């Protein structure tokens, strides 16, 4: 994975200044580019963060009982690096080990998947702290051939009613997918009307295409966000995968981000 600075470059705003004077607002930037950031000088109070989130849509409540102790106002999640390593998916956002690339809420129905992820830094944790990593879905899709993409449009997680791993919205590829790492990925074949009638593919063929998708995710150039207090970013969950690099188990201060999920 090759890291490069995110694009477009951060807007420099004073705390609470939306939109930016003499330029596009942060909301306009994320809708155009799928990513935007602002150096606020100091972190916003929670109520101002919520006010900004409401400009993008509706903040989504945190409902997982495991993370409720880390929440404020039911929708703001405090991502604090209080654990070194964990195998518990619910606790991985609070650890210092790497977080695999994923789209947020990939196992949910489309209406329940966040459209935007808002992250704001309260404490960066030092120079060796973990980076947030962004990978363009369009660039990942460009590394797959037509047959591979057609098959991914007919594959979904087995549990629940999520959309296919790959769909298209306004001509753009949108993935609902995460790297399951050491866990089993259970899938089902759900061909749509755009698929020609054909027998269900052999499991090994599907697994091979899923491996190709994972390889494309981790060989596509990535943008690395190095945090500083007061830095705020917004990510379009339908245009970027996101994840986290690992941080040392010791010698690093507390990394504290606040997250809003916007539907």
For 14-25, write each residue's pLDDT tens digit: 333 344 444 578
Tokens 């004077």 belong to residue = 21
Report the pLDDT value the prediction gives residue 194, as an integer from 0 to 100.
67
Whether the CB-CB separation of 136 and 175 falls below 8 Å is answered with no
Mean pLDDT across the stretch 232-247? 94
Report the pLDDT value the prediction gives residue 20, as an integer from 0 to 100.
46
Greater pLDDT, 84 or 78: 78
Domains of the chain: 3-136+223-262 (3.60.130.10), 137-218 (no CATH)
Quickly list H helices, 158-240.
203-219
Residue 117 exposure: Cα atoms within 13 Å on the Cβ side:
23
- Residue 13: pLDDT band (50, 70, 90) is very low
Residue range 32-57, pLDDT digits in tens = 999 999 999 899 999 999 999 999 99
- Residue 262: pLDDT band (50, 70, 90) is very high
Residue range 121-168, pLDDT digits in tens = 999 988 888 899 999 999 999 999 999 999 999 999 999 999 999 999
Q: Is the pLDDT of residue 70 over 80?
A: yes
Q: Rounded to an integer, what is the distance from CA 232 to the centroid of its chain?
A: 14
Q: Is the pLDDT of residue 62 over 60?
A: yes
Whether the CB-CB separation of 82 and 123 falls below 8 Å is answered with no
Q: What is the chain's mean pLDDT, rounded?
A: 87
SS3 168: strand
Whether the CB-CB separation of 54 and 118 falls below 8 Å is answered with no
What is the pTM (predicted TM-score) of this model? 0.88
Q: What residues contact 136, with CB distance under 8 A and at least 6 apart?
A: 34, 220, 239, 240
Mean pLDDT across the stretch 221-240? 94
């Amino acid at each position: 994975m090759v890291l490069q600075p995110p694009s477009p470059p951060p807007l420099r705003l004073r705390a609470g200044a939306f939109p930016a004077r003499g330029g596009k607002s942060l909301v306009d930037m994320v809708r155009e580019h799928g990513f935007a950031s602002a150096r606020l000088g100091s972190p916003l109070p929670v109520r101002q963060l919520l006010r900004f989130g409401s400009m993008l849509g509706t903040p989504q409540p945190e409902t997982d009982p495991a993370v409720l102790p880390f929440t404020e106002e039911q929708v703001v999640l405090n991502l604090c690096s209080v654990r070194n390593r964990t195998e518990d998916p619910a606790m991985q956002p609070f650890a210092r080990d790497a977080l695999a690339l994923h789209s947020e809420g990939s196992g949910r129905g489309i209406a329940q998947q966040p459209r935007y992820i808002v992250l704001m830094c309260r404490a960066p944790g030092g120079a060796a702290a973990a980076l947030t990593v962004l990978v363009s879905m369009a660039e990942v899709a460009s590394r797959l051939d037509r047959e591979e993409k057609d098959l991914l449009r007919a594959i979904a997680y087995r549990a629940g009613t999520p959309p296919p791993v790959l769909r298209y919205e306004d001509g753009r590829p949108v993935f609902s997918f995460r790297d399951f790492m050491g866990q089993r990925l259970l899938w089902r074949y759900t061909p749509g009307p755009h698929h020609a009638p054909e027998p269900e593919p052999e499991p090994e063929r599907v697994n091979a295409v899923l491996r190709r998708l994972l390889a494309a995710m981790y060989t596509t150039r990535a943008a690395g966000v190095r945090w500083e207090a007061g830095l705020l970013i917004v990510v379009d969950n339908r245009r970027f995968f996101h994840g986290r690099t690992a941080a040392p188990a010791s010698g690093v201060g507390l990394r504290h981000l606040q997250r809003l999920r916007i539907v």
